[in-house]
Chains A and B, each alone.
Chain A
């Protein structure tokens, strides 16, 4: 693919807003899903040869979505084109393509909404920027709605909270519906249904990997740290993105999780059936797929009889787990319906269900149940990247903003050198890594490199000012994305790692103090 000839955009000396470069990203289009992939998910296999049929299907489906999703309905009507969001998207900042401005991205859909669903658009299309749905418009949707990482940064700055991610999801659902799905995401969802995880790692291979991991850790530390799979009656079901099983640097965090459970003496298990925390159903905006993928976790929890569910380092997975699991699968609390009660009776409600691994580790640290040799991390000067889905779509702990503090508390408990990046690039204003939302594929590498620009600028500053040599993450996609794109900006891939990788380095196993 286009790897080597993609160039990282230059840092902006003063972070000014780029001049518009119309259509600079119009050429970028990821692969379309094949028929079998589409049909396996219950979507139409491919676009009809008869345009009118596609046209009518899109409009009819849009009408249905408008009745199902208040977000879509209200967001379509409420935008005043104020411009507050225009310069907030990393993909606009990195590419200068005006259609990557959040409001312009929304308008790709809104223009069609206006034409078919509003009086003004039916009567005076030119006046209100309404347009007919044509094949060109559909292609434009495909190109630009797959250039959104659904990071929600734009929604922070919109006076009406308009979240472009919601609109992107609706658009992708429309595209899937008429047979114009994205290969990358839909293929992955298919693998989850067939095999149990995004990477298509079957049960035996998984068992093998985990046993190998046990041996490695034994060799390295001398301790019998276990990585159990499908153990009935364990206290904790641990669900993590499948990249954690073998990808670099993900695996380092996996070792960290195992060590935490070991040191705390809490029985845990992973599951073949739920060997994936990621849920690409969210990326394609399909409630149905979102629910089907999430149901595997419910089923695994019921089968294994666990008391707690803990989720590993993954951004969108944590959003789905934290914000949607209770709705989709009854993992959580406070429900009266029989469906939800079945599982909720089994879970131990002294704990939050589900719990993020950082919450879990931080709880143990506060209880004094984990001991660390912080100096072991002294070769690292660390910064932390807030993953967008954790930052703006979820929470940790009992209070708003816990999702920012708890991972930092954990880092500070296990390491001595920590420096945050500039405040306007972290916390709720964090910039996306550039690889989220279903764009982590080779076809979109140009977007991924360019979209990383604002994060790279912020990183460069702490590298220059504090000598930072490690960026800690709590997201499988962030880890994969940064490992791949930081070299374009002159950094080493090795500076990317997980929070539990730091935990792993410093944690004391056994009882020696």
Chain B
């Protein structure tokens, strides 16, 4: 079992990293022939960085669009970020101070994350418009994330597991030395769903994470009159006629 889980995590990590890299390279290499920032937009490069920061950290456009989705989405993402930070303690020894400081917050963040997911799920099922646009994979993605969150919380508050052994397992995993993992159904489900999440990441809508950085309507400078912007294929067309 330990070996199986180890192999699973090696494979999941490889798929996650390589798949994501391929996608990022693909996004980056595809030219954007015309300037199409959604205006009013920033007229300088630093302005674009600031706009992107507001989008990535505060979900500015979503805030304009729908307070409910924004609130649940922010709860989930913010919660998830803290939870991920909290989990760093399983991968570094000694635990970095800032990670240690954030530990107690990470604990509550788990609830925040699950509550946000619950809200998003409720919307997906209850709001007619959103139900209409949802595919089975949209629902399953929420189920998967909920599974991760709930098993995680379960192990923290109800069915404890031997986290020292879990840590030994992951530290060992990182240097190719497979250690035994505690036998615990919650832990198995937790880890299995995390691996599934990593595997589907580069093939699913989770690509929104790298995607936003490449979105031309958000990452372009609004300066078409001041600077000529031309894609390589368009320049080639120009040279021809």
Q: Could you list which residues of chain A lie within 8 angstroms of chain B, going by C-beta atoms?
A: 17, 19-20, 66-71, 73-75, 77-88, 98, 101, 103-104, 107, 118-120, 124, 126-129, 152, 155-163, 166, 287-288, 291, 322-327, 330, 332-335, 337, 339-340, 352-354, 391-395, 398-401, 403-404, 428-429
Contacts and interface: CB of A to CB of B under 8 A. Distances in A.
A398 B216 CA distance: 21
B207 A77 contact: yes
B13 interface: no
Task: Across the A-B interface, give the 4 residue pairs with the lowest CB-CB distance, nearest first.
Answer: A157-B65, A78-B211, A335-B228, A84-B65
B139 to A, nearest CB: 10
B228 A80 contact: no
Contact of A68 (B31, B38, B129, B211): B31
A101 B35 CA distance: 25
Contacts of A333: 225-228
A160 B208 contact: yes
Contacts of B36: 71, 163, 166, 323, 393
Given A69-B30, A155-B38, A19 B128 contact: yes
Contacts of B224: 322-327, 332
Contacts of A119: 203
A202 to B, nearest CB: 26
B130 interface: yes
Nearest to B35: A323
Interface in B104-139: 123, 127-130, 132-138
B26 interface: yes
Contacts of B132: 20, 98, 101, 104
B27 interface: yes
Contact of A78 (B26, B38, B127, B212): B212
B129 A82 contact: no
A157 B218 CA distance: 12
Interface string B220-241: 0010111111110111011000
B215 interface: yes
A403 B69 contact: no
B110 to A, nearest CB: 22
A77 to B, nearest CB: 4
A163 B227 contact: no
A335 B128 CA distance: 50
A126 B139 CA distance: 13
Contacts of B216: 70-71, 74, 161
Contacts of B2: none
Nearest to B62: A159
Contacts of A80: 138, 205, 208
Interface residues of B, number: 66
B214 to A, nearest CB: 5
Contacts of A337: 228, 230, 235, 238
Contacts of B59: 159
Contacts of A394: 39
Contacts of B183: none
B232 to A, nearest CB: 10
A324 B212 contact: no
B152 to A, nearest CB: 22
Contact of B205 (A17, A20, A78, A428): A78
B204 to A, nearest CB: 6
Contacts of A84: 61-62, 65-66, 69
A428 B39 contact: yes
Interface stretch (B40-48, B91-99, B161-169): B40-48
B180 interface: no
Nearest to B230: A327
B129 A98 contact: yes
Contact of B228 (A19, A67, A124, A340): A340
A70 B219 CA distance: 12
B123 A83 contact: yes
B26 A73 contact: yes
Contacts of A75: 215
Given A74-B214, A327-B33, 9 more contacts: A74-B27, A78-B207, A120-B137, A120-B203, A157-B66, A287-B237, A326-B225, A326-B228, A333-B227
Given A71-B32, A158-B61, A77 B211 contact: yes
B34 A327 contact: yes
A69 B138 contact: no
A77 B26 CA distance: 11
Contact of A158 (B30, B31, B65): B65
A82 B73 contact: yes
A128 B135 contact: yes
Nearest to A424: B64
A19 B207 CA distance: 31
A332 B207 contact: no
B208 A391 contact: no
A287 B225 contact: no
Given A84-B66, A323-B34, A400 B61 contact: no
Contacts of A82: 62, 66, 69, 73, 130
A128 B134 CA distance: 9
A327 B212 CA distance: 24
Q: Select the residue from A124, A127, A160 with max chain B CB neighbours within 10 A.
A: A160
B211 A81 contact: no
Given A155-B217, A160-B211, A86 B133 contact: yes
20 contacts: A20-B129, A67-B30, A70-B32, A71-B32, A81-B134, A81-B138, A83-B129, A104-B132, A128-B204, A157-B65, A160-B215, A161-B212, A161-B218, A322-B225, A326-B224, A326-B225, A334-B226, A334-B228, A400-B222, A401-B40
